[in-house]
């Protein structure tokens, strides 16, 4: 799994929750501060809802990157 933190990719992804599910040509973006390869609904709610995943937590089994589109802007916190 060669996705860097903050990267946005078009990929084929296989995840494991109660069962193993494969998705083809999905847009996936990895957060900078996450427990990758564990995906939690709270952080990845858009991905979970878009792909109709019912579980609260899944594990990424494999990712086949088809296209790299760039990186998200890293959030800046000012004090």
Residue 43 domain flag? yes
- Per residue in 7-49, pLDDT (tens digit) is 999 999 999 999 999 999 999 998 888 899 999 999 999 999 9
Q: Give residues with Cβ within 8 angstroms of 68, minimum separation 6.
A: 7, 8, 9
Residue 20 domain flag? yes
Residue 41 domain flag? yes
Q: CA 41, 38, 71, 9 torsion: positive or negative?
A: negative
Nearest CA to 71 out of 3, 14, 20 is that of: 3
Total tally of structural domains belonging to the chain? 1
Residue 76 domain flag? no
Domain that holds residue 58: 7-71
- Per residue in 54-72, pLDDT (tens digit) is 999 999 999 999 999 888 8
Residue 77 domain flag? no
Residue 2 domain flag? no
Count Cβ atoms below 10 Å from residue 53 Cβ, excluding itself: 19
């Amino acid at each position: 799994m060669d996705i860097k933190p903050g990267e946005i990719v078009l990929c084929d992804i296989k995840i494991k929750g109660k069962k193993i599910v494969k998705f083809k040509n999905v847009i996936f973006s990895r957060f900078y501060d996450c427990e990758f390869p564990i995906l939690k609904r709270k952080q990845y709610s858009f991905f979970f809802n878009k792909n109709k995943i019912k579980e609260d937590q899944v594990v990424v089994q494999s990712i086949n990157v088809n296209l790299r589109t760039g990186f998200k802007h890293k959030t800046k916190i000012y004090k």
